Amino acid sequence: EAKSRGRAISVMFHPQLLTELQERRELEMSLRVALERGELVMWYQPLLDIGTRRTVGYEALIRWNHPTRGIIEPSNFIPLAEEAGLIGAIGEWALREALAEAATWHDDLSIAVNVSPAQMRGDAVLKQVVSALAATGVAPERLELEITETLLMEDCEMHLRTLHRLRALGVRIALDDFGTGYSSLNYLRRFPFDKLKVDRSFVSDIVEETDSGAIVETVLNLARKFDMKTTAEGIESEAQLAKLDAMGCSQAQGFLFDKPLPAEGIPPEHRKSLRRLQIA
């Protein structure tokens, strides 16, 4: 009895593992061609000035419009792209696409693009940024690159050099998901970020009397001292917004305002009249 059950278990586990591996391989293979086939799409989520509640820019958030699976979110394919060595090509596309889109908006709207640590090795990203800005005619000051703390842990010297060179172009650098990694205050001293993005996990329970409120307040104070802007991610309620406003956070992003939208969802009043005339 025990023996047959043991066998039954091993028979049950192996095919499942194989299937998972196979699925990964298939997903990786289809990701390799997704770019050429135009299956990657960029969606945009507004960033608002908390004081005026006006949209000051958008964050570009990638999606994979898979032929059979439908829309796949980045957490389900960006790590795969990094492992498979595809993140360089995808990152280059993301920059081009987001900047081409931003070129159709009013010049006072910024565009934030996420850059994963794997893209920052070497100086490829620097060349990609320069050529994407030149090709689209977007002013460097409108571009904000979002990087994460993981990057700074990797090879601080090399990455700091790249960040300084990007900044010398006029591009702004934001530290994304702040507080979730092994944040070291030393980074803030060594690299002058233009902005800190307070992670959604701190915003979600900020209204209740939790430690999150104290953490966010400390982060916002710190940002003020270093002359950095702050964006709170993942705001879903008016109560959260009010609390962040009272704490002095400068920008807001979250489902309370809008979810990430396909480019078609961006309000026409944010576009240059040229584009509006073309559509009419």
Bridge partner list, 114: 146
Q: Which of 233, 247, 266, 271 binds ligand C2E (CB under 6 A)?
A: 233
Residue from 114, 119, 251, 253 binding Mg ion (CB under 5 A): 114
* Residues 57, 253, 151, 189, CA torsion sign: positive
Q: 48, 62, 72, 198: which one contacts ligand C2E (CB under 6 A)? A: 62
Identify which range of 67-75, 163-171, 221-229, 243-251 contacts ligand C2E by CB under 6 A. 67-75
Shortest approach of ligand C2E to residue 177 CB, angstroms?
A: 5
Residue 146 or residue 271: which is nearer to Mg ion going by CB? 146
x/- mask, Mg ion, residues 61-100, rule CB under 5 A, reads: ----------------------------------------
Q: Which does 28 bind (CB under 5 to 8 A by kind): ligand C2E, Mg ion, none?
A: none
The option from ligand C2E, Mg ion, none interacting with 143 (CB < 5 to 8 A, set by class) reads none
CA distance 180 to 224: 20
177 binds Mg ion (CB under 5 A): yes
Positions that interact with Mg ion (CB under 5 A): 114, 146, 176-177, 199-200, 233
Footprint of ligand C2E (CB under 6 A): 45, 60-62, 73-75, 78, 91, 94, 114-116, 146, 176-177, 200, 233-236, 253-255, 260
